[in-house]
Amino acid sequence: MEKSYHKKTFENIPEEKRERIFQAAITEFASNGFNGANINTIADNAGISIGSLYKYFSSKDDLFLSIINRGYKLLDGVISEADLSGGDMFDKIEKLLRAAQKYAMLYPEINQIYLDLATEGLSHLSKRLSKTVETISVKFYRTIIAGAKKEGVVPRDLDDRIASFCLDNILMMVQYSYTSKYFMERMRIFLGDRYIRDPELIVRGVMQFIRGGFSRGIGARR
């Protein structure tokens, strides 16, 4: 069961109002970071009093964690749409890569908040999470790699821990690249404008590299 961080009262207000509060909070947390975010600004922009806000969330921490949960739901939605059921392992990874890219482009602010959550300054918050994106994705990777080994798509002695770690490192940085100006500029320095304008070029190139990573590689020593 999903752990929730809001008070029961939050569920009794109209959907539209809940949405307004979330949007105000997302914008404020994304642009100023958790520590710089002002809870009064959030209440103001949502058009409610600070007293009301504390009726729905007991603390700034809880409001922040509620937004993280909401992000999981949005991500679930994008991944469900991607339909990862068919094809071989690489088809699945390609769909996941495209979903990660799409998710970051659709919801840059939510992704900015995730990035903030991973910083050391917010470790008091991240340790309160009942699950992280990683706990979900690592299971997915293990399953598809095990399948690919059975089908002979990848070498049987492939280190699935390292392979899924490297794979996720690549996917995550692609996702971050659409998330902050710093990382977007970094991607531009590496890839140039042509790739930035055409996200499909990035998918094709990155998949080529990943396919190689799952093979034995050049001068493999084992």
Q: According to CB under 8 A, which residues from 39 to 78 bind its own copies?
A: none
Question: Is residue 156 within the footprint of its own copies (CB under 8 A)?
Answer: no
- Of 1 and 189, the one with the shorter C-beta distance to its own copies is 189
Helical residues (DSSP H) of the chain, grouped into ranges:
15-36, 39-46, 50-56, 60-82, 89-106, 108-117, 123-126, 133-150, 160-177, 181-191, 193-197, 199-213
The stretch near its own copies (CB under 8 A) out of 48-56, 63-71, 78-86, 152-160 is 152-160
Question: Is residue 210 within the footprint of its own copies (CB under 8 A)?
Answer: yes
106: left (phi over 0), alpha (psi -120 to 50) or beta: alpha
- Report the nearest approach of its own copies to the CB of residue 80 (Å): 23
Question: Is residue 13 within the footprint of its own copies (CB under 8 A)?
Answer: no
- Of 10 and 179, the one with the shorter C-beta distance to its own copies is 179
Question: Is residue 118 within the footprint of its own copies (CB under 8 A)?
Answer: yes
Residue choice 10, 144, 154, 178 for contact with its own copies (CB under 8 A)? 154
Phi, psi of 119 (to 5 degrees): -75, 160
- Of 41 and 52, the one with the shorter C-beta distance to its own copies is 41
Residue choice 25, 30, 42, 110 for contact with its own copies (CB under 8 A)? 30
Question: Is residue 157 within the footprint of its own copies (CB under 8 A)?
Answer: no
Q: Which pair of structure tokens corresponds to residue 142? A: 């293990």
160-170 in b/e form (b: 16+ CB < 10 A) is: beebbeebbeb
Residue choice 134, 151, 198, 200 for contact with its own copies (CB under 8 A)? 134
Q: Give CA angle at 121 (18, 21), nearest 5°.
A: 10
Interface with its own copies: number of residues (CB under 8 A): 72
Helix axes 60-82, 39-46, angle to 10 degrees: 60
- Report the nearest approach of its own copies to the CB of residue 36 (Å): 3
Contact 51, 43 (CB under 8 A): no
Residue choice 52, 166, 196, 199 for contact with its own copies (CB under 8 A)? 166
Q: Which pair of structure tokens corresponds to residue 152? A: 């002979």
- Report the nearest approach of its own copies to the CB of residue 197 (Å): 14
